[in-house]
Structure formats: C-alpha cells, structure tokens
C-alpha cells in the first residue's frame, strides 16, 4: 500500500512539473508500466523520433536509452533533453564504433551506409540514412542499385531486410542481447502450447529464419507494428517475441485479448534503470541533460531526416 501511495504521489508531481516546465515525456514501449503511464507519448524508435521532431515543448524527458535521448537532442538543438538515468545504455549501440564505419567507407568510397537508429550519434553522423525496424525494408528497397550497402549494427535485422528486399547487404555482426536470446526452441514450446495463437516476432530476434520456418504465418513486426496489428486483428491470443515491456501496452490497448511472451525473462536491464522516481528527479532538477556537439549533430541530422521521410 505504501508503495502505491508513493507511486501516485510521484505521478501527480510529475504531471505538475510537466506543466511548470513546459515539458513532454516520451517513453519507449519497453519501459516500466508506471513510467509509460505518466508519458505523453509511448512508442517505438520511429514514433518517438517523430514526436521529438515536432514537439513544441521546451523540455523533453526521454524515458528510453541513451541513443534515443541523443536522437531527440539532435532533432531539437534548441530544447533541453533529459535522460532520467545516464546508465540507460544499449548493448547493440555499443557493438559498433565510428572507426568501424569510417574504415568501411574508406574501403568502399561509392558505398551507402545504412545505420539502425540504435547507434551512437557519432555513428549516425557517418551514415547516409538511418532506419528503424519499422521502415528499414522500405528504405533499403529504395536505395540506388549497383552500390555496396553497409547495414549496421544489428545482423538479425539486417538479414531480415536482405531477405525481404533481395538486396545484397554487408552486415555488421552486432546484436541486441535481449532479442538475440530469443531462440527457435522458445518458439517451438509455445507452438505446441498455443496452436491457435498468432505469433508476433521482432526482426531483431535471434530465431530469424528458423522462426518463419517453424511458423510460416508468423508476423515479423516492429514494436509499433505489433501494437497496431494486435489491436486490429480478430484473433484473441498472441504469442509475442520481443522485450516484455511491450506487454503492458498491448494489454492496455486490447484488454480482451491474451498476450503470451515467447521468453518471459526477455528484459532489457538498461530500459528498466529508469524509474518513476528518476523521472520525477530529472524533471524537478533538470538533471542529466543530453547534448550532442553541433559538428556531430549536423551530420547525424541529415541521416535522421532521411529516415523520418519514409514510412
């Protein structure tokens, strides 16, 4: 009971401070349920990027991970962008360094660099275009023919894009440790237990092609794609292969449907470092401002702007 009272108090204070600071809270779908509940917008990387680009708020509190707050800062150089916990990193973003990209560019002067939005600002600054899991297929399909393409850093998403577009990509061997841990054996068990369920699978998942072999009618979708599909589908049961934070949003938007995680312990510890108390403290003290040097931000902004125009 005491914890519930504290949660309500913090939520009320956050709402008060939002108005006082002219602030907006953007939260990723993998955030804790109580953090999602105080957010003005909950979504995936593409949706959050678009909200960050068009917000009129003076302060953006980003309940996500560091690269997401960087993206908001790049798109809003005149606004204050806050990250409630500077420890909210990303194993995928950390898997590639700017030097890796620069080396490839020097070896492929006519090449095109496609950077997943899950990358650091310095990597985005070296890219020709950024993508999210929601629009990567469409972006790559529209690239000029006959030029080498470097897709980074997620190899599973890259393999999916390669399969869907028929384009030959050079893939960086990076992975999200949460999605990479979702394997075919997890899917097999639930196929037997839930034979009538629809299967929603994030393209970053390690099961990749084997998942589609086991379940040919499975839907490979971004987090936002999962939400839209589940809300519109006549099905009443879904097996979900992604970080389990999305289940709160799915159950909230479709309370009459059942959602079963493929892997109940598919938890991003970086996302979960952000708590309601940290959101409150960040707003109260304008704590943990995220800044990107303008010489980096200017180049990264071009790649991000190209991403926002697609899908």
Question: Which parts are annotated binding residues for [4Fe-4S] cluster?
Answer: 90, 176, 268
Which residues 6+ apart lie within 8 Å of 77 measured at CB?
294, 297
CA gap 284, 274 in Å, rounded: 15
Question: How many Cβ atoms from other residues are within 10 Å of residue 17's Cβ?
Answer: 19
What is the longest distance spanned by two Cα atoms in the chain? 63
CA gap 233, 50 in Å, rounded: 26
Q: Length of the chain in residues, anyone?
A: 311
Closest of 87, 160, 152 to residue 123, by C-alpha:
152
Which residues participate in the annotated binding site for iminosuccinate?
A: 28, 45, 116-118, 133, 202-204, 223
Which residues participate in the annotated binding site?
A: 28, 45, 90, 116-118, 133, 176, 202-204, 223, 268
Backbone region of residue 225 per phi and psi (left: phi > 0; alpha: psi in -120 to 50; beta: other values): alpha
> If DSSP codes are grouped into helix, strand and coil, which group holds residue 137?
helix
Closest of 62, 59, 42 to residue 273, by C-alpha:
62
**What does residue 210 show for φ and ψ, rounded to 5 degrees?**
-65, -30
Which residues 6+ apart lie within 8 Å of 1 measured at CB?
none
């Amino acid at each position: 009971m005491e914890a519930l009272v504290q949660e309500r108090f913090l939520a009320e204070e956050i709402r008060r401070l939002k108005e006082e600071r002219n602030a907006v809270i953007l939260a990723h779908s993998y955030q804790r349920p109580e953090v999602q509940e105080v957010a003005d917008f909950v979504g995936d990387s593409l949706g959050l990027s678009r909200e960050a680009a068009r917000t009129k708020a003076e302060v953006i509190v980003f309940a996500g991970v560091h690269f997401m707050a960087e993206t908001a800062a790049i798109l809003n150089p005149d606004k204050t962008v806050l990250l409630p916990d500077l420890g909210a990193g990303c194993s995928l973003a950390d898997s590639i360094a700017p030097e890796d990209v620069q080396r490839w560019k020097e070896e492929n002067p006519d090449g095109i660099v496609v950077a997943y939005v899950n990358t650091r600002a310095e990597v985005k600054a070296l890219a020709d275009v950024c993508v999210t899991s929601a629009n990567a297929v469409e972006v790559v399909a529209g690239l000029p023919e006959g030029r080498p393409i470097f897709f980074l850093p997620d190899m599973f998403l890259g393999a999916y894009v390669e399969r869907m577009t028929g384009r030959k990509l050079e893939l960086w061997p990076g992975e999200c440790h949460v999605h990479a841990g979702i394997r075919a054996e997890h899917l097999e068990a639930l196929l037997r237990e839930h034979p009538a369920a629809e299967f929603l699978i994030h393209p970053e998942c390690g099961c990749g092609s084997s998942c589609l072999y086991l379940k040919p009618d499975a839907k490979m979708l971004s987090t936002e794609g999962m939400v839209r599909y589940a809300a519109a589908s006549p099905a009443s049961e879904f097996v979900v292969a992604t970080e389990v934070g999305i289940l709160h949003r799915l159950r909230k938007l479709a309370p009459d449907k059942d959602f079963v995680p493929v892997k109940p312990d598919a938890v991003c510890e970086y996302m979960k470092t952000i708590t309601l108390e940290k959101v409150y403290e960040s707003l109260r003290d304008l704590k943990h401002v995220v800044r990107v040097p303008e010489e980096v931000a200017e180049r990264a902004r071009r790649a991000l702007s190209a991403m926002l125009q697609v899908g």
